[in-house]
Structure 1
Amino acid sequence: MFEEKIRGLEQKINCEYGNIAGMVVLKNNETLYENYFNGYTPTDTFHVFSVTKSIVSILIGIAIDKGYIKNVDQKVLDFFPDYTIKKGEKTIQTITIKHLLTMTAPYKFRWTPYAKVFSSKDWVKATLDLLGGKKPAGEFRYMEEIGPDILTGILTRATGRPVLDFAQEFLFSPLGITVPSNIILYTSKLHVAFVKKNNASGWVADESGTNTAGWGLTLTAMDMAKIGQLYLKEGKWNGRQIVSSAWVRESTTEHSRWKKEDLPYGYLWWTKIVNGYAAMGNSGNVIYVNPSKKVVVSVAALFQPAAKDIIEFINKEIETIV
């Protein structure tokens, strides 16, 4: 019966979700299903787009656990004492780490100035220049690529070391995840090529060496599943507490809500998604965790504009099997 359901699942993937390249399903810490499509293998890495945000959330939690950051209510500008506040700017002085984590920080632009930020050598500084404005903090505004980089800037300033080095020591290496090096995209053509490339390996950084926070990380499908399993086990991996259980609970609790889509948001994690919570990225890249069933589902997907809803697919096709 199980094999028959799996055949039906894979037929559905091939017919309706053709950009899926890898899928892992864990239940009770065991691999229930793992398969790859479109010629990809277990060792291939994928740009996971906004799933990167949830990884950065974990790193912020680890930095707080270790005392590099006091708490989420610490002001953003505490970490940038050399930043010059423009005359008349008041809102930027009130913005906290929590505002960035919950997508409730205000910005001065209506249309995201991608070219302006990505053509600069320091994306954190360019983003700080856009932070604040006339509106007070508190209203949900989802920032896909520009905005979260301030968090990796904070990590760099707080720990005194590159984000990738910090992540390697305290998150990636303990979980057996390999992210070999930074990827620098010097031109817009390289930027576009990276987004569409399906076998890049590393983590995008600006020319100053600060890693992206909203996109740009590459992982294997099993790497993604490991992150989900870490959260399912409340921050523990092989008996070692990687990030505190308090942070896992807090980061997957609703703190804000995207009213337009009626989607609750934690600390860079989407909460109350079907029967759990999820890290979600463009094109259907997903880490989904169902605590009640002790199930983790990771989907690594190829870039595809307007990809079909993977969460709906997980709910209808995978959760019925497990």
Structure 2
Amino acid sequence: MAQPDFKTIANEAKRLDQLQSLVIHQNGEQLFANAFRGPALDTPVNIKSVSKTIVALLTGIAIDRGIIEGPDQRVLPLLGKSAFGDDRDNLTIEHLLTMQTGLDSTSGRNYGAWVSSNNWVDYALNRPLVDRVGGRFIYSTGGWHILGAALTQASGHSLHRLAQDWLGNPLNIVIPPWVADPQGRYMGGNDMAMSPLGLARIGDMVLNGGTIDGEEVVSQNWLETSWERRGLSPFSGDLYGYGWFLTEYAGHKAVYARGYGGQMLVLVPELQLSIVIISDPTLPARGDGHFGDLEQLLERIVGWVEA
């Protein structure tokens, strides 16, 4: 296999004004790493909704350890909440993982009101039902915050401690505390901070079947289950599993985590390729803008690595 054209990769990436850093690993080895602008590669940065994929990994670990019964466990009893007497009573861990809760979104134009409320979990649970539970994909950070609260309730530990103990410590990554709700529960699904190099190490672990340095972090069975088709994003048109979007780059199946502004962790299992992209978290990244540019860059990177 020929060496990728790193000079071309650097030039392609650098011309994207919103892109701050790019890290490429293959088989656990660093092929390319550059911070073109913004924080250094070893500095924790806001990974925005890539946090959702991290919470999905933590959920898998909780299931592996018997802390959560499984994807079919009902959510309301786990949280100690009374029944609503409607379809909400059927909410399971899986519905939170796949964003198929049926509840109206707390994201987009609804985000400000949600995070201004005095109880983020109750606010998210009390959103109107706009579809059946288990129905269409409705992008919403509120469901992930409910999931984070469920992990905290079941384990007796904060989401931050779980992230540091279950992912940070075995991977030698520092995960600093992030924003919490009025009850002190760390936000599930947004605003985690992690360095680009640390995020790439998570990608390496996932591609290695959930193990790092011979230690199992999360079961391979959970990872395979996470990459099964569950829903469809109406925004990108990509399929969705348990916290991962499913797509293809240069003819190779890939999965990715995506956060506002153009934060991405992209995995191409066939090539054992892990790609981290960090962008300006204050600017949008739409399909006809920065995110579309990133998709083209990823196509070229995968093609270069494969060549």
TM over 0.5: yes
CA RMSD across the alignment: 2.1
Answering whether residue 121 of structure 2 is matched by residue 124 of structure 1, we say yes
Residue 281 (structure 1) aligns with? 259
Pair 84,78 (structure 1): closer, same or farther in 2 beyond 3 Å: closer
C-alpha distance after superposition, 1:146-194 (max 9, x if no partner): 321100010011101111112211111111110232xxxxxxxxxxxxx
Instruction: Trace 1:1-322 onto structure 2 (pairs within 5 A).
Output: 2=3, 5-15=5-15, 17-81=16-80, 83-86=81-84, 89-108=85-104, 113-130=110-127, 133=129, 135-181=131-177, 203-259=178-234, 261-274=236-249, 275=252, 276-303=254-281, 304-306=283-285, 307-309=290-292, 310-322=294-306
Q: Partner amino acid for 1:74?
A: Q
Separation in 2 of the partners of 1:316 and 1:91? Answer: 45
* Per-residue Cα deviation, 1:274-302 (whole angstroms, up to 9, x for no partner): 32111111222111111111111111111
Asked whether the 8 Å contact 1:255–1:266 carries over to 2, the reply is: yes
Query: Deviation string for 1:171-223 (max 9, x for gaps)?
Result: 11111110232xxxxxxxxxxxxxxxxxxxxx221121211122110111111
Evaluate the alpha carbon distance shift between residue 27 and residue 137 of structure 1 in structure 2; reply closer, same or farther with a 3 A threshold: same
Superimposed CA distance per residue, residues 207-257 of structure 1 (whole angstroms, 9 cap, x where no aligned partner): 212111221101111111111111101110110010111001111121122
| Cα pair 1:220 1:300 within 8 Å, conserved | no
Stretches of structure 1 lacking an aligned partner (at least 5 in a row): 182-202
Q: 1:42 to 1:92 in 2, by over 3 A?
A: same
Which stretch has the larger CA shift, 38-47 or 109-118? Answer: 109-118
1:134 to partner: Cα distance: 6.0
TM-score (norm 2): 0.89
1:101-131 Cα deviation digits (max 9, x unpaired): 111111146985323321123311221222x
- Partners of 2:105 and 2:234 in 1: how far apart? 20
Taking a change above 3 Å as real, the CA distance of residues 8 and 219 of structure 1, as seen in their structure-2 partners, is same
State the aligned residue count: 295
Alpha-carbon separation, structure 2, partners of 1:150 and 1:228 = 25
In structure 2, distance between residues paired with 1:272 and 1:108? 26
What is the Cα deviation at residue 135 of structure 1?
3.2
Q: TM-score, normalised by structure 1?
A: 0.85
Distance in 1 (CA, whole Å) between partners of 2:143 and 2:154 is 18
1:109–1:41 CA distance, 2 compared to 1 (3 A): closer
* C-alpha distance in 2 between matches for 1:206 and 1:262: 32
Closer/same/farther in 2, CA of residues 296 and 109 from structure 1, 3 Å limit: closer
Residue 69 of structure 1 and its aligned partner are, at CA, apart by 0.6
| Preserved contact between residue 112 and residue 146 of structure 1 (Cα < 8 Å) | no
Provide the residue aligned with 1:191 in structure 2: none
Whether the 8 Å contact between 1:91 and 1:134 is mirrored in structure 2 is no
CA distance in 2, matches of 1:225, 1:75: 33
